Amino acid sequence: MSAKTFEILGGRAPDAFLRDYWQKKPLLIRNAFPGIEGLLEPDELAGLALEEEIESRIIIERSPIDWELRHGPFTEKTFKNLPQTHWTLLIQALDHYVPQIADLLEHFDFIPNWRIDDIMASFAPFGGSVGPHYDYYDVFLIQAHGQRRWQLGQMCDDTTPLLPDLPIRILRDFQPDQEWVLNPGDMLYLPPGVAHYGVAQNDCMTLSVGFRAPSEQDILMEFVHTLFNDNVQDRRYEDKELKLQANPGWISPEAVDRVADILRRAVSDPQKIAHWMASYLSQTKYEQAPEPPEDDYSEAEVQDLLAGNQSLRKEEASRLLYTGDVLRPEHFFVNGEEKEIPPLTHSMILYLCKHRSYRPATLDMFCRTPENLRFLTGLLNQGILYFEDDLYDEDEHEEEEDEETGPADDL
């Protein structure tokens, strides 16, 4: 666990946070991200809202019971014609487009990567908000610019009444019982279901580190879908020990048991479930595949770039996950697809899964094994990893290499 994690949790140990707060109760952490201001300017956010492939929305509060929702991409004219106050611009998956925003996620490495959805950013002038509401997901709300007043209220669920006929979900009866004004660098953690209402006090930018939790319905449907690729559909219901029934219209408890058994067998293989989870959960948020480099790298070029200390990153939207033992990956998935793990490549996979940006010297060491060099070159040529323009700066990444899973393991 990085020292950064302790800082953002206000000095709390991550396991204590998980035990006492995660999915349980809100937590305000003052000055969790002291240097956050200036990481992104509000103008840059507005610029992103003009882009076709970026998911953006504007929410305008006409009155507490009259809300308007617009979907991007927007034009400069849209922004010129907005009211002075009481609107919010939302940009989804900012971490996919801005590497320094993606880097914030390294502070949240005490929660499994697959639980992370994205970092959403909001910009609002005075009075702007998305209304009192609740979310189905955990969220860390980082104040990145200006001030926002947050009020928290009751626990909600599907049965909590919402205002009717609105394009967004606004609570009918918000009952605030706590209130804080967040300054730049402050962070508020909210578990799912807590009613919350954040109102901009001035030009205000908030980053929401959002988590995902697949619905049980999705889990069932998606898993059952993969069963169709197995040969189970060729097997039929069997009742060799069928007993004579008093009424042929009856579905006997024995028949129900036989069907329950079929269902149980289908979902009782942890290996199969793990494999499916890795494939399903490593799928990217949007369909767009990573862009490969213009020209393929040769293994010799990769070796030269690593030796020359050229920084590397994971393509921001890509998801790398593995199953098996925590120190011994059995199956490695990237963006929904399994990659065959060559012999001796385990430690490199652990390293790639743990970080988002990589130290060339560490990868250089792994790549003394030809299989690792070939594997890494393959990932680079698929655009899953990419070389940055800059050289790697040791000072920027101080402590993170100290506690690596030893790269020497396999060598």
The values of phi and psi at residue 185, to 5°, are 100, -20
Residue with tokens 């790697």, as numbered in its chain: 392
DSSP characters over 141-193: EEEEES-EEEEEEEE--TTS-B-TT-SS--BSS----EEEEEPTT-EEEE-TT
Asked if 314 contacts 357 with a C-beta cutoff of 8 angstroms, the reply is: yes
Instruction: Choose the contact partner of 142 out of Co ion, ligand SIN, none; CB within 5 to 8 A by kind.
Output: none
What residues make contact with ligand SIN under the rule CB under 6 A? Answer: 88, 122, 129-130, 135, 139, 196, 198, 206, 208
DSSP 8-state class, residue 127: T
318 binds, among Co ion, ligand SIN, none (CB under 5 to 8 A by kind): none
Residue sitting closest to ligand SIN (CB):
122
**Binding segment for Co ion among 51-59, 85-93, 133-141, 348-356 (CB under 5 A)?**
133-141
Return the residue nearest Co ion (CB atom). Answer: 135
Q: What is the closest distance, in whole angstroms, from the C-beta atom of residue 398 to Co ion in the complex?
A: 34
Amino acid at residue number 354: K
Minimal distance in Å, beta carbon 137 to ligand SIN?
Answer: 9
In the complex, least distance from residue 139 CB atom to ligand SIN, rounded to whole angstroms: 6
Instruction: Give the nearer residue to Co ion in terms of CB position, either 103 or 135.
Output: 135
Residue 278 CB, nearest approach to ligand SIN (Å): 29
Q: Minimum distance from CB of 153 to Co ion (Å)?
A: 12
Tokens of 145: 């610019």
Residue with Cβ nearer Co ion (135 or 186): 135
Smallest separation, CB 298 to ligand SIN (Å): 46
Token pair for residue 89?
Answer: 């611009």
C-beta closer to Co ion: residue 57 or 346: 57
**What is the enclosing helix (H) or strand (E) of 80?**
helix 76-80
Of 196 and 359, the one with the shorter C-beta distance to ligand SIN is 196
Say which entry of ligand SIN, Co ion, none residue 198 contacts (CB below 5 to 8 A, set by partner kind).
Answer: ligand SIN
- Indicate which of Co ion, ligand SIN, none lies near residue 208 (CB less than 5 to 8 Å, by partner kind): ligand SIN
Nearer to ligand SIN, 145 or 319 (CB): 145
CA distance 210 to 120: 7
Dist CA 237 CA 356 (whole Å):
49
Specify which residues 136 forms β-bridges with: none
Alpha-carbon distance of 58 to 75, in angstroms, equals: 12
E strand or H helix at 116, and its extent? Answer: strand 116-124
Report the nearest approach of ligand SIN to the CB of residue 130 (Å).
5
- Using the rule CB under 5 A, which residue among 117, 135, 186, 364 binds Co ion? 135
List, in sequence order, every beta strand (DSSP E) within 160-289. 178-182, 187-190, 194-200, 204-211
118 versus 135: smaller Cβ distance to Co ion:
135
Question: Please, are residues 127 and 86 in contact by the beta-carbon 8 Å criterion?
Answer: yes
Q: Which is nearer to ligand SIN, 190 or 384 (CB)?
A: 190
Q: From 104-112, 130-138, 176-184, 292-300, give the range in contact with Co ion by CB under 5 A.
A: 130-138
Question: Nearest distance from residue 190's CB to Co ion, in Å?
Answer: 7
CA 18 to CA 21: how far, in whole Å?
A: 6
- Six-digit token pair at 44? 């840059």
Q: What is the DSSP-derived secondary structure letter of residue 107?
A: G
Residue 117 interacting with Co ion (CB under 5 A):
no
Question: Residue 383 in contact with residue 290, Cβ under 8 Å?
Answer: yes
Instruction: Select the span of 131-139, 168-176, 309-317, 348-356 touching Co ion (CB under 5 A).
Output: 131-139
The first and second tokens of residue 254, run together, are 């024995």
| Residues at the interface with Co ion (CB under 5 A) | 135
